[in-house]
Structures are given as structure tokens and as C-alpha cells.
Structure 1
Amino acid sequence: MNIGLDNGRGNVKVVCGNRRKIFESYCGRGYEMDFSYGKENYEVQIDNEKYFVGALAKREGMSRCFQKHKIDNKRTKPLVLTAISLMTIQDSNVNIVTGTPISDYREQKDQIEMYLRGKYKVKVTEEEQKEIEIENVKVFPEGAGAYFSKILNMNGEVCDKELATTKVGIVDIGYKTTNISVFDNLKFVDKLSATFNFGIHQAFNMIYKRLSREEDITPEQVENITTGYEFKTLSDRIQTEINKFWGNISFKIFICGGGAYLLKDYFPKFELINKPEFANAEGYYKIAQMLYKPKVERWTFGQ
């Protein structure tokens, strides 16, 4: 089974065929509860450890997984294995393609691939326990998934030859980071790609500071707000950084990520990818289809 997984700092997104799930990246150690909140609130058993994941972890006052080095964070595997389990209906051997911020890619790629491989016993809420073996893991820079979501079909085959042979830019506005990347004829252009350590969370944080002076409001409630000058402030900052790297842009640019919906109107020349929050996960799935299916011409990143 092939799975595309975007383990974001705001939300986890996972795609397998026509199935997809998204849940907030809250996670913490679980404990016995007097009653269940229901199947969408994930009580997760991994081997002999219990965790709360997503909405349940948020309700119980646990935090999101913000740590830069994911292999050093004990919440990474529960988030990943919850996502995988939600895509499977029985014991499964899986191949995963996932991503990491461009700034961390070279340092963390091999470590993440090694860290996630293995056999696990996983039980999510009311489901039966499953044995999941992660056989293969491939890590790409964030933005690569979005790019290949436009280039490949769901079988991992090139479906847009024109786009595949031109220069393309990706602006991926995440929760805590924004990644910009350029691809030219299927090749990643490193010198035109970068990670900025701010994302849509920065706008939410500015809104919270402004509103909390006058009313009783929580940071979680602020994330339901869709208007405010703070979004323009963040967009201007992103545009300034883009100009430093790309100068006079002469290629097609796509915008994606969880922050794309809120900021798209400030980038009228950029094309919004359909379902932008799933763009990377969908692209990772398509790459997995290409890499792990026999008799399909394979493409190696960086060649």
C-alpha cells in the first residue's frame, strides 16, 4: 500500500487513492478516561503506549508538535501511525512518501527515513488492532509534493508534459513555515528554493495579541478568523522574501498549503492549487505510486 503523508505542524494530511484525512497535529500521552468522545477523537495504542491525537489531544490541553527535528520528538510516530492506520482496514505493509522543510531536507532526510521504518501494532479508537509494517520511506522537500500533484496522475504517470518541461515555482504557506521552491524540467533548483520561519500562525498570533487586549479570546478561537490587516502584513512579508530569491519572476507560480486559502487574494498572479491543504500529501502519494509500482518508469529526485 502506498501512502502520501504531510506531517505538518498545524495539521496532518494523509492521502491513499481516493481516501484522504486531515486532523490537527495535537498529541500527548494518553490515560484512562471515564467515557469516549467518539471515533473522530483518536485514542491511539501503539505497541504498549497510549496516546491522544488530534481533537481529543487538543481538548485535553495537549500541544501541537512544533519541534524542528521530528525524530527527536516522541509525538512524531503517534501522528504518523495514526494517519497510516486511518488509511488501512487490515494488517498492512506500507510505503510512505513524506516531506520536510527545505531548510531541513539535507540534514534530516536520511534520519527520518530510518526513524519511521519498522513494524508496529496500532489501534485507533474503536478500530481493531492492526499490524503495520512501514517497509519504505522516501522524504522530499516540502513543495515537491505540490509540484508533482500537478505533474502526475493518481497512477504516478506524467499527465502534464508541458508543465513537466518548464520552470515552475511553488509557494507553500504552512502553519509555522513558508517554503518556496522552483522546479525546472522535473529537477529541483536548490539555489532558488528556501524555507522562511513564519507561516499563517504568525498572522493568527498578531490577531490574538490585538484582540486579547479588549476581549476574552483564546488562540484556538483566533484560528477561525478569516479577515484582518494581519493577513496583509504577513503576505507583504512573504512577497518581500520571494522577491529576494526570484527577482523579476518569469515563470508560472502555484500557491498551496493551509494558509493559501486565507492569503490567495494577496497573490493574484499565483494560481491556487485545488484543495491546497492536501497538495503536498496528494503529490507525495503520486510519487509513491511512481516509485513503488513495478513496470513504471522511475524518476530519481535530483537527477
Structure 2
Amino acid sequence: FAVVTGLPVSFYKDKGQLQELFLGQHRVKRNDRNWQSFTVTDCRVIPQPFGAVLAVALDTNGRVINSDIAQGNIGVIDVGGKTTNLLSVSRLSEISKETASISLGAWDIVRQIRQHLASEFPDLDLRDHELSQVIIQRWFTYFGDTIGIGEVIDDILMPMAEQVVAEASQLWNSGARLNKILVAGGGANLLGQYILDHFQHAYIVDNPTFANVEGFYRFSQRF
């Protein structure tokens, strides 16, 4: 078997250790199924945000289907759970000096919104999936009343988005020379529109939550 996986930008220096863990023989069991043995003979570790580029540039057989992305200068803003990774590539090669990690992610947003709701609406006890729905629809029901929290969400999201945009603008010298900026990750749907409002050549990739892993799979079909 061949494995393609990724590491956050700030941990990419550990790729050798991760490769060692994957290479070789493994024996696994899932739930009540029989034990299975397999051998990993090849392991490629790439920067996590690179997966989003590959998901757009390649088809499911690993062939290039988007030459503009494959041949261009591309930036990636990957908004994860705990960090936001910034990556720049040229002709599918990483530009390491234009790569960085920000200690800010989707869970920071969720935590602040949860804290606000707990303070203002103490009897509102939302599970994680319920809170996610509230953030998406920007309202909730409280003792029969419909409470809108769009302004609260904007007040929390705006400074975080501004931080990401400021970091990316500085790292990429305003981003003017980039052909496209891809926005990916689980937090793309939260911060994405704010990022798009600043970078006119940015867009949110399809299925942004799983874009990186989709790119890993497509890349694996090339070898």
C-alpha cells in the first residue's frame, strides 16, 4: 500500500517521524470484523493545506484537470479547528518562505460564541451540533422567543478574519501576484466570506472540510 497524509505547517518538520510510523507491516481490526494485515511500502507526507490545491488541480485518477491551478501561483488559507495554515505554491511546488501558521481556528470561534450564550442565556444548554446549527442559521429559540445573534457572530468573526487577512497580506505581499487564493478547512464556511471580501481572487473550495484529505487521495493515484 501507498499512503499520502499531511501535517500542519508548524509541524511539517516532523514528517520523517510520521513516515517511519506508517512504513512497514501493520495489523488492524475494525469493530467486530476480522483482523487484517497489510504493508505500507511508500508514504508521502505533504503540508496539510497542499491537499486543497491537489483536490482542485487533480481528478480522482490523479490526472491534472485544472491547469490554471497546477501551473499557477496559488495561495491557500486553511482554517482548521485550532490553527489556520497559510501556504503558497508555484506550479505545484511549495514556497516555504511564504508559508505560516496562525494560532487561531474554528474552535476559538465556537468557544467565544458558547461563552456569550452561556452569559446572556444561562438556561440555554446546546450540544455541539446544536450550537453549530445556531451559528449557521444565526438565530435560536429561547423560551418560545426567536433570538437573532447575527450581530454577535459578526462581532466575534470580524476580528479573527481581520487577523487572518492581515497575516496573509503580509506573508504574500498583499497577494497581488497570486493567481488564486483557495479557502479551505472546517472553518472556511465561518471566515470564508470575510476573506473573500478582502481578496477578490479568493474562493471557497468545494467541500472545504474534507478538501485536504480529498487532495491526498487524488495525489495517491499518481503512484
TM-score by length of structure 2 reads: 0.81
Of the three residues 4, 8, 18, the one matched with 1:101 is: 8
Provide the residue aligned with 2:160 in structure 1. 234
Higher relative CO (CA 8 A, sep ≥ 6), structure 1 or 2? 2
Of the three residues 22, 27, 33, the one matched with 1:116 is: 22
Distance apart, 1:184 and its partner CA: 1.0
The 5 Å alignment of 1:1-303 reads: 94-106=1-13, 108-213=14-119, 214-216=121-123, 217=125, 220=128, 221-226=130-135, 227=138, 228-229=153-154, 230-250=156-176, 251=178, 252-268=180-196, 269=200, 270-290=202-222, 292=223
1:80-113 residue CA offsets vs partner (Å, 9 max, x unmatched) = xxxxxxxxxxxxxx3110111112112x010000
Distance apart, 1:117 and its partner CA: 2.4
Structure richer in helix, relative to its length: 2
Please list every run of at least 4 consecutive aligned residues from structure 1 whose deviation after the TM superposition is greater than 6 angstroms: none
Distance apart, 1:219 and its partner CA: 7.0
Cα separation, 1, equivalents of 2:27 and 2:209: 29
Cα separation, 2, equivalents of 1:207 and 1:249: 31
Q: Which runs of 5+ in 2 are unaligned?
A: 139-152
CA RMSD of aligned residues (A): 1.9
Q: Which runs of 5+ in 1 are unaligned?
A: 1-93, 293-303
Other structure's SS at 1:121 match: strand
Q: Structure 1 vs Structure 2: percent identity of aligned residues?
A: 27
How many residues in Structure 1 have an aligned counterpart in Structure 2?
A: 197
Are the aligned partners of 1:204 and 1:219 in contact in 2 as well (CA < 8 Å)?
no
AA aligned to 2:80 is G
1:175–1:124 CA distance, 2 compared to 1 (3 A): same
AA aligned to 2:86 is I
Cα separation, 1, equivalents of 2:67 and 2:115: 47
